[in-house]
């Protein structure tokens, strides 16, 4: 097996990187030195030819980092309230990214509880907005290089084997339902509920 979590590793297409990120550790060092560590259990892939992707209409001030180097962080604000954390994939300028939707808290739970205002462990990182809040990630962290940052980085952890990964349609997105996907560790209690098929019109 080749080296993991290198620039080249992230330069592959989002639908390849997304399932390969399951089981990996996302590590955050806060300003006071506290370390928070979570294990990724749910991801979604976005490519620039996807109408649901922020890169679909080209580069703007908001999505600029999505066109940066693979392995960079792309953080955006959704509904004016919640931040979502993405890892840039594909070659620089491509506009691919993987949204990290949920994770299992491993370390630094006290700090995450403080950030989230709850002690329910399942409510800490289950959902993209919650995960970003737990790790105190907002637009100020947009563009961070996850391969060279002492504030936020990825560690190999233990990849989830293919037979323990489920592929579903993405959450809250109807467009591209047959071509773009969400990946989740099968049966994980730390993931968001698996979406039900789109009801008949």
Partner DNA sequence: TCCCCGATTAACT
Partner DNA sequence: GTTAATCGGGGAG
The residue (of 64 and 161) whose beta carbon lies closer to DNA is 64
Tell me how far, at minimum, the Cβ of 64 lies from DNA, in Å. Answer: 9
The residue (of 61 and 162) whose beta carbon lies closer to DNA is 61
The residue (of 33 and 112) whose beta carbon lies closer to DNA is 112
Distance CA 92, CA 69 (A): 5
Distance CA 105, CA 112 (A): 9
In order of 29, 70, 78, 120, the CA distances from 136 in angstroms are 10, 22, 16, 17
- Phi, then psi, of 130 in degrees rounded to 5: -65, -40
Chain positions contacting DNA, by CB under 7 A: 44, 46, 52-55, 57-58, 60-63, 66, 74, 76-82, 84, 86, 97, 99, 101, 116, 118, 123, 127-131, 170-173, 192
Tell me how far, at minimum, the Cβ of 7 lies from DNA, in Å. Answer: 20
The residue (of 119 and 158) whose beta carbon lies closer to DNA is 119
Are the beta carbons of 34 and 107 closer than 8 angstroms?
no
């Amino acid at each position: 097996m080749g080296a993991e979590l290198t620039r080249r590793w992230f330069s592959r297409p989002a639908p390849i990187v997304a399932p390969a990120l399951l089981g990996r550790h996302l590590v955050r060092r806060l300003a006071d030195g506290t370390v928070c560590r979570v294990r990724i259990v749910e991801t979604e892939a976005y490519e620039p030819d996807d109408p649901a992707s922020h890169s679909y209409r080209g580069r703007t001030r908001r999505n600029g980092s999505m066109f940066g180097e693979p392995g960079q962080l792309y953080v955006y604000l959704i509904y004016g309230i919640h931040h979502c954390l993405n890892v840039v994939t594909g070659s620089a300028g491509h506009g691919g990214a993987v949204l990290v939707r949920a994770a299992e808290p491993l370390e630094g739970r006290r700090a995450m509880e403080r950030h989230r205002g709850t002690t329910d462990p399942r409510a800490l990182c289950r959902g993209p907005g919650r995960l970003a809040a737990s790790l105190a990630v907002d637009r100020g962290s947009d563009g961070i290089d996850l391969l060279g940052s002492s504030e936020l980085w990825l560690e190999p952890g233990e990849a989830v084997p293919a037979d323990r990964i489920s592929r579903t349609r993405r959450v809250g997105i109807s467009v591209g339902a047959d071509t773009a996907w969400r990946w989740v560790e099968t049966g994980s209690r730390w993931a968001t509920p698996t979406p039900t098929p789109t009801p008949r019109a």
